[in-house]
Structure 1
Amino acid sequence: MSLNQFDTQTIIGVLGGGQLGRMLHQSAINLNLNLRMMDADQNAPCAQLVEDFTVGDLEDYEAVYAFGKGCDIITIEIEKVNTDALKKLQSEGVKVYPEPEVIALIQDKRIQKQFYKDNNIPTADFVLTETAADLKNHLDKLPGVHKMGRGGYDGRGVQVLKTEADIDRGFSVPSLLESFVPFKKELAVIVARNKSGEVRAFPPVEMVFHPEHNLVEYLLSPALLVPEIESEAKRVAEEIIKKLKMTGILAVEMFLTKDNQILVNEIAPRPHNSGHQSIEGNFTSQYDQMLRAILNLPLGDTGTKISSAMVNVLGEDGFTGEAQYEGMQEVMKLPGAHVHLYGKKITKPFRKMGHVTITDPSLSSLRSKIGIVRNTLKVKA
């Protein structure tokens, strides 16, 4: 699709109908774009929003192939999809962005890490393991992080191993053991590339994770970095998407080590939790940018409009059932607070139910408001 052939009747199929698809749909409305969506959950956040919604298994070849046959472009909001079906659709003329080969590479953390090594992209030292017993041969890598090659998501499939006594907690499936990185900040950069090869990165954000559940609790945008480190983080993200020859949007999670080195942790070929605040905080949101990229339109200005924070709204520990929100009125009184709920009726412990973006030019005020939101807005049942 070239720039002078932009057609608002183009049918874009999205594999996945969760909160990322929900926010993508909101951006698509502004361009009068026709989105179709498929998700295995009939109650997915997009199920009642998108006119053409299909219930189907995203990892099933026939389901993905049948869904994609009616689309001009196929894209994703989750990596766990059948890439063989996508390759077949691509061979038949359906545009698939990100490309199936890129999705397949990223689906397996072992292959993903080898890609970094082969392309001289800075990352933590690692070894591959087939079973938990293999860990006994790599005690020199401890303390380390054991990661399942496939299937891990939102903190699942990741185990911190501090000493030899911890190795029984390792995974007996193909995995990788990564040396623990002494870092001072966890960063993320959202970067986009269109089919013409134009590349643009957003300013890095700083992420703060839950100490036990490996979920982002909140982030600051832009990250507080000296210009040289900010430039290096953006350069690395741009280098990755160029070497992947990927079309679409890519989230690059990074460590800033104690000696000021940038090391890539993981990547995701879709919109990402670390880019939600771009809706209010940047001139172009990550969702607008994704649509521009897959339609081969000029990429938007990624600059920061105003300093912002994003606080994840997670289900409270110990509560499962129909979601009840406490503290919403107090949060909505906060100047600069923007509440985004994801349409999930049922809450579970630590389930992502929404997020709150806070915009404020004052860093001290921003930090104060982060604390208020975290301590006030609770999702119970």
Structure 2
Amino acid sequence: MNYFSSDFTLGILGGGQLGKMILYETRKYDIATKVIDPSNEAPCKIACNEFVQGDLMDYDTVFNFGKDVDVLTFEIEHVNVDALEALEKEGVNVYPSSKTLRIIQNKATQKLFYTDHNIPTAPFTRFAYTSEVKEAVSNGGVTLPFVWKSAQFGYDGNGVKVIRKIEDLEGLPNVECIAEEMIPFKNELAVIVTRNPKGQVATYPVVEMEFHPEANQVEYVICPARIAPEVAQQAQQVAVEVSNAIGHVGLLAVEMFQTENDEILVNECAPRPHNSGHYSIEASYTNQFEQHLRAILDLPLGNTQSKVAGIMVNLVGAEGHTGNVKYENIEQIMELPGVTPHIYGKRETRPFRKMGHVTIVNEDIAKAREIAAEVKGTIKVISQ
């Protein structure tokens, strides 16, 4: 099929920053795109060929949108998976597939999948309602402390809470959830694995993630991860095992824990471009967004190696600021060597909302981390 400068149309469910960065690559190759998002101010709106405003969880909306495109992908998991399945039956190529999304969309189902396929993961208990967790703690079925996770609709630190005492469960939504054993770990790692319909597989280097202690959001992504080669090899191997078990097409970002004993445990995965791969725009031979495009269009996969060490700093809304956004001191960080800001196009900021990211590249990973800290301490995402 001729994708380039043709009548072929790629459909994207979700119009956020991940979709916007995919569109950088479709523009590069002159591939026509159609995007749907609930917000009329979605970042993708300015860059796609056709934009539709609509509810991604509504069956008819997603089905009717998908009928009009040649290949359908998504940049967010919160979409109507029944509509995707129906589209596949109608002959529409949906990548990643509805089967992949069904495994991943629900965290409880995802964890059971790991257990069933002998993929190492932290012990957990599944509950139909949060109220049942309190009973389990009281009768000794669950031991404090643990991590509470909503089975569905969690993102960017939402739907996750560390429970250290029974009172910490107060105020949580009474929804399907899991209680996951807290594992002492050295590092949080991630590996992105790509697969095309022909079965060609490519794996990105292991990255190390540093999280904000309160918001449970990634603050820094560091590539290459500052870990022993044998640990990196084990992390790559586990990520490929997850990829093989799921059999996805497109990107699969596998987040993992490196325990105190250097075991690798899978935390969760995402079947789309991922925050842990943003560094690749500046640091890799083939960035994750181009690679996702190559994969879902069954084109040859690109070189995943890094050209240079890279660190990504998330730009999130400052606490105490809601309203029209202002990027304070952005000129100052742009004076620093190897610094590239990415602004997502969200006009309104609020506390901890992802508004952009900054990539720092340097031959020396330690120097890059030093500059990243300066970037983090300098730029502020505030309201006007």
TM-score scaled by length of structure 2: 0.96
Count of residues paired in the alignment: 377
Work out whether residues 18 and 45 of structure 1, in 8 Å CA contact, stay in contact via their aligned partners in 2. yes
Is 1:124 aligned with 2:122?
Answer: yes
In structure 2, the residue matched to 1:36 is: 34
SS in 2 for 1:283: coil
Work out whether residues 229 and 260 of structure 1, in 8 Å CA contact, stay in contact via their aligned partners in 2. yes
In structure 1, the residue matched to 2:341 is: 339
Q: Give the C-alpha shift of residue 170 in structure 1.
A: 4.9
Work out whether residues 278 and 284 of structure 1, in 8 Å CA contact, stay in contact via their aligned partners in 2. yes
In structure 2, the residue matched to 1:65 is: 63
SS in 1 for 2:239: helix
In structure 2, the residue matched to 1:76 is: 74
Change in 2 beyond 3 A, CA 1:170/1:142 = farther
How many Å separate the matches in 1 of 2:172 and 2:112?
A: 21
In structure 2, the residue matched to 1:278 is: 280
Q: Which 5+ residue runs of structure 2 have no aligned equivalent?
A: none
Is 1:7 aligned with 2:3?
Answer: yes
In structure 2, the residue matched to 1:349 is: 351
How many Å separate the matches in 2 of 1:294 and 1:130?
A: 35
- Following superposition of structure 1 onto structure 2, how do residues 353-364 of structure 1 map, counting pairs within 5 Å? 353-364=355-366
In structure 2, the residue matched to 1:137 is: 136
Once the two structures are overlaid, the 10-residue window that deviates more, 230-239 or 78-87, is 230-239
In structure 2, the residue matched to 1:54 is: 52
Is 1:368 aligned with 2:370?
Answer: yes
Work out whether residues 187 and 258 of structure 2, in 8 Å CA contact, stay in contact via their aligned partners in 1. yes
How many Å separate the matches in 1 of 2:265 and 2:105?
A: 20
Which of 280, 287, 290 is residue 288 of structure 1 equivalent to?
290
Aligned-pair identity in percent equals 46
Once the two structures are overlaid, the 10-residue window that deviates more, 42-51 or 328-337, is 42-51
In structure 2, the residue matched to 1:264 is: 266
In structure 2, the residue matched to 1:249 is: 251
**Which residue identity lines up with residue 145 of structure 1 in the other structure?**
V
How many Å separate the matches in 2 of 1:130 and 1:343?
A: 38
Q: Which 5+ residue runs of structure 1 have no aligned equivalent?
A: none
Q: Give the C-alpha shift of residue 21 in structure 1.
A: 0.5
In structure 1, the residue matched to 2:20 is: 22
Which of 98, 101, 104 is residue 99 of structure 2 equivalent to?
101
In structure 2, the residue matched to 1:319 is: 321
Per-residue Cα deviation, 1:166-185 (whole angstroms, up to 9, x for no partner): 34355421111000010010
Q: Give the C-alpha shift of residue 320 in structure 1.
A: 0.7
How many Å separate the matches in 2 of 1:6 and 1:228?
A: 42
Per-residue Cα deviation, 1:31-77 (whole angstroms, up to 9, x for no partner): 21111100000001011221200001000011111111110100000
How many Å separate the matches in 1 of 2:351 and 2:166?
A: 30
Work out whether residues 159 and 169 of structure 1, in 8 Å CA contact, stay in contact via their aligned partners in 2. no
Work out whether residues 32 and 49 of structure 2, in 8 Å CA contact, stay in contact via their aligned partners in 1. no
TM-score scaled by length of structure 1: 0.96
Work out whether residues 130 and 176 of structure 2, in 8 Å CA contact, stay in contact via their aligned partners in 1. no
Q: Give the C-alpha shift of residue 291 in structure 1.
A: 0.5
In structure 2, the residue matched to 1:176 is: 178
CA RMSD after TM alignment:
1.2
Q: Give the C-alpha shift of residue 132 in structure 1.
A: 3.0
Which of 157, 160, 164 is residue 159 of structure 2 equivalent to?
157
Work out whether residues 251 and 273 of structure 2, in 8 Å CA contact, stay in contact via their aligned partners in 1. yes
**Which residue identity lines up with residue 334 of structure 2 in the other structure?**
M
